[in-house]
Amino acid sequence: MKKVLILTAGFGEGHNAAARNLRDALEMVSEDVRVEVLDLFESSYGSFNTLVKNAYLGVVQYAPRVWGGIYSLLDNSTFVENRLTGFSRLKNALGDILHEAQPDCVVSTYPVYAHVIRELYRNYSERPFRFITVVTDSITVNSTWFRAPSDLYCVANEPTAAVLKAGHVPEAQIRTLGFPVSPQFTEPPTTPVNTPVFGEPRRILYIINTGKKKAGKVIDRLLEIPDAHLTITVGRDAELKAKLMERTHEHDDRVRILGWTNQMPQLMLSSHLVIGKAGGALVQEAIAARCPMIINQVIPGQEEGNARLISEHELGAVAERNREVPDLVKEAFAHKARLWQQWRKNLAMISKPDAALRLAELVLTECECSDPTRGKKRLFEPSATHAVPPARAALNGPAESRMLLCDFHIHTNYSDGKLSVPEVVDFYGRLRFDCICITDHLADPRRLIGKLARLSNMTLAGDQLEEYFEVIDRERRRAWKKYNMLVLTGIEFNKDGYTKKSSAHLLGIDLKAPIPPALDLPETIAHIHAQGGLAVASHPHIMKSEWGKNTLHLWENQEKYAPLIDAWEIANRHNIFDCVGMKRLPFLANSDFHKPKHIYSWKTLLYCEKNPEAIKECIRRNEHVSITLYREDNQFTRNAVRPGETGNEADMIRLEPHLQLKAAHR
């Protein structure tokens, strides 16, 4: 088993994107590799880091001109080196991790780590692992990236390689592989992109994250272009989404407005043009998708390089102001789309959609070069007492019953949860859960509260349901391979009325396909059962500790629903509903997880075989079902809560995977 440690930092978008994509690619190309992504700025600095990050992001987002100044300062001085003494905690943390983990290869997507590693191994004969830096900047590359040594430097393109050569990095150490975009960019587009002829739609993807105020006007003018079809993404800005929906409602046959989406690769692969800011990841993704780009904002500093990449290589255009965007779009498609065709041709020459896979292959080759004689400890693998059999063995070996730790009520950022689906999988996987079910809210649009909820982006949008199923499907495979954990797809159907007695939340567990949101409860349950899923009443009684509304409809109408419902939550997070026990109804206990600290809550233990059918049958029969209160143990408390520190405890749990968290029952 090869071990790869990827170091990143949440500053800006490029570093994290590169780290995650490389991890996904490594797991795709090899069965024999264990990869961890670590953001030490998050886990070793706590509140201090938040401060640094806010300062950094604040400067980047709100005062681009100031940032430009800082950027050149960084480049010309020994800014990082001088601050290394201040980074002693980071250094100690990284030293501990490297000592324990003994990785074969360490990859850094953030320049500071190279300096820390140089400090760590200054007095040692040799660093016992290969070290690769993935430069996430393009053309305007800060020298911090290469002032400390790495075995190899991977860059996105030739102009960036030239900057490193000019900075005296030996040519043999530079690899021009492309920016590691998601391996999903290698998939064929769902809607192929051809030169649009008269009357055919020009599919334009408009990614709004800045210039929101003027976006409406730009959209109006884009819609004046004949055959322009717009897909607009607004991220988490529910207010903007509502405004734009109203503004464009007359054109809803050619305007689609999305909130937050996981499907960016497919959207780009299927679009003729993308409009957005010159962010590192976005520009590289557009290039990978061969989708010409119109840049509507450039922050001085790193982003200038990205914009130059587009303009100098003629891969699209850079608008001086947002209002010039519609004219640039018109120009692109004028004269039988001559300009657009040229952009596409140029893109085809430099696009490297498989960069992450190539980089993964390189990392695996480098693993072979690391010193094979040193003793290898097993940090990345579960400790002996928690040994998890390899997935394959579990599949082929004799099926046997065992105690399974489960959580069937989990929210992600598809509704009002904090973590994304992949983050939830990593979070629960590292805690060695056996089975989880992701259950984001789906509101009934016929109910007033449902309508409000839809606008506030706190529930799954109807047009995102398919994407939701796809994303969980993908993560299901990864979770099984990496953590031997089952991931089920679920939905929490919110049927909210004006009163608690007319409100109900119903979980559908292990669903195979979307179910329409505007159905009555019995119809919804029938759909769940038709798919082989379980219908579970969530928080069916009065909740004492939550501010949320109570949902008593199912409980108040037990005679009607008890025969239809497979199980009732006897406990939800900190609440316990003894009435469910008194009535001897089939039961389950769940976290109703929205953020990391919710992990400390009631859970279900099942004694059965580890596969979805056996798990569902165990719940239906409600034999060998028990509940447990999952609490942090002392070791965790000792490690995570440091005296005098007011860091966010929850984030610590999420970001310190090297802590051995244990379930109290094991």
As measured in angstroms, the least distance from the Cβ of 559 to Zn ion is 23
Closest to Zn ion by CB, 434 vs 592, is: 592
Q: Choose the stretch contacting Zn ion; rule: CB under 5 A; options: 191-199, 366-374, 488-496, 635-643.
A: 488-496
Q: Choose the stretch contacting Zn ion; rule: CB under 5 A; options: 157-165, 193-201, 421-429, 592-600.
A: 592-600
Q: Choose the stretch contacting Zn ion; rule: CB under 5 A; options: 56-64, 126-134, 200-208, 590-598.
A: 590-598
3-state secondary structure of 89: helix
3-state secondary structure of 581: helix
As measured in angstroms, the least distance from the Cβ of 538 to Zn ion is 5
Residue from 130, 505, 553, 610 in contact with Zn ion (CB under 5 A): 505
592 binds Zn ion (CB under 5 A): yes
Q: Choose the stretch contacting Zn ion; rule: CB under 5 A; options: 20-28, 393-401, 498-506, 606-614.
A: 498-506
As measured in angstroms, the least distance from the Cβ of 415 to Zn ion is 8
Using alpha carbons, list the distances in angstroms from residue 600 to 42, 46, 416, 435: 21, 20, 19, 16
Closest to Zn ion by CB, 15 vs 505, is: 505
Backbone angles phi, psi at 134, to 5 degrees: -105, 110
Q: At what angle do helices 64-76 and 47-62 cross, to 10 degrees?
A: 120
Q: Exposed/middle/buried for 183, CB within 10 Å: 0-12, 13-18, 19+?
A: buried
As measured in angstroms, the least distance from the Cβ of 443 to Zn ion is 11
Q: What is the 3-state secondary structure of 418-438? A: CCCHHHHHHHHHHCCCCEEEE
Closest to Zn ion by CB, 302 vs 538, is: 538
496 binds Zn ion (CB under 5 A): no
Closest to Zn ion by CB, 40 vs 554, is: 554
As measured in angstroms, the least distance from the Cβ of 566 to Zn ion is 17
Closest to Zn ion by CB, 36 vs 492, is: 492
Closest to Zn ion by CB, 146 vs 561, is: 561
As measured in angstroms, the least distance from the Cβ of 489 to Zn ion is 15
Nearest residue to 550 (alpha-carbon basis) of 507, 493, 502, 490 = 502
Using alpha carbons, list the distances in angstroms from residue 144 to 80, 135, 140, 148, 149: 7, 10, 12, 7, 10
Q: What is the largest CA-CA distance in the chain?
A: 79
Say how far apart CA 476 and CA 404 lie, in whole Å: 17
Residue type, 303: E
In the structure encoding, which two tokens stand for residue 142, read together? Answer: 């800060």
Q: Choose the stretch contacting Zn ion; rule: CB under 5 A; options: 24-32, 108-116, 326-334, 502-510.
A: 502-510
Closest to Zn ion by CB, 177 vs 443, is: 443
Quote the DSSP letter at residue 409. Answer: E
As measured in angstroms, the least distance from the Cβ of 575 to Zn ion is 12
As measured in angstroms, the least distance from the Cβ of 453 to Zn ion is 12
In the structure encoding, which two tokens stand for residue 567, read together? Answer: 């199980």
Please check whether residue 594 is in contact with residue 418, taking contact to mean a CB–CB distance below 8 angstroms: yes
Write 52-60 long-range contacts (CB < 8 A, 24+).
53/10, 53/11, 56/11, 57/11, 60/12, 60/299, 60/301
Please check whether residue 500 is in contact with residue 550, taking contact to mean a CB–CB distance below 8 angstroms: yes
Say how far apart CA 132 and CA 422 lie, in whole Å: 25
Closest to Zn ion by CB, 330 vs 594, is: 594
As measured in angstroms, the least distance from the Cβ of 434 to Zn ion is 21
Please check whether residue 250 is in contact with residue 278, taking contact to mean a CB–CB distance below 8 angstroms: no
CB count within 10 Å of CB 124 equals 8
Closest to Zn ion by CB, 459 vs 538, is: 538
Closest to Zn ion by CB, 285 vs 492, is: 492
Using CB under 5 A, which residues numbered 237 to 296 contact Zn ion?
Answer: none
Using CB under 5 A, which residues numbered 22 to 51 contact Zn ion?
Answer: none
Residues 527-566, mask of contacts with Zn ion (x by CB under 5 A) = -----------x----------------------------
Number of shown-chain residues binding Zn ion (CB under 5 A): 4
Say how far apart CA 631 and CA 651 lie, in whole Å: 16
510 binds Zn ion (CB under 5 A): no
Closest to Zn ion by CB, 315 vs 565, is: 565
Q: Choose the stretch contacting Zn ion; rule: CB under 5 A; options: 241-249, 310-318, 497-505, 657-665.
A: 497-505
Closest to Zn ion by CB, 492 vs 510, is: 492
CB-nearest residue to Zn ion: 505
Chain residues that interact with Zn ion, rule: CB under 5 A:
492, 505, 538, 592
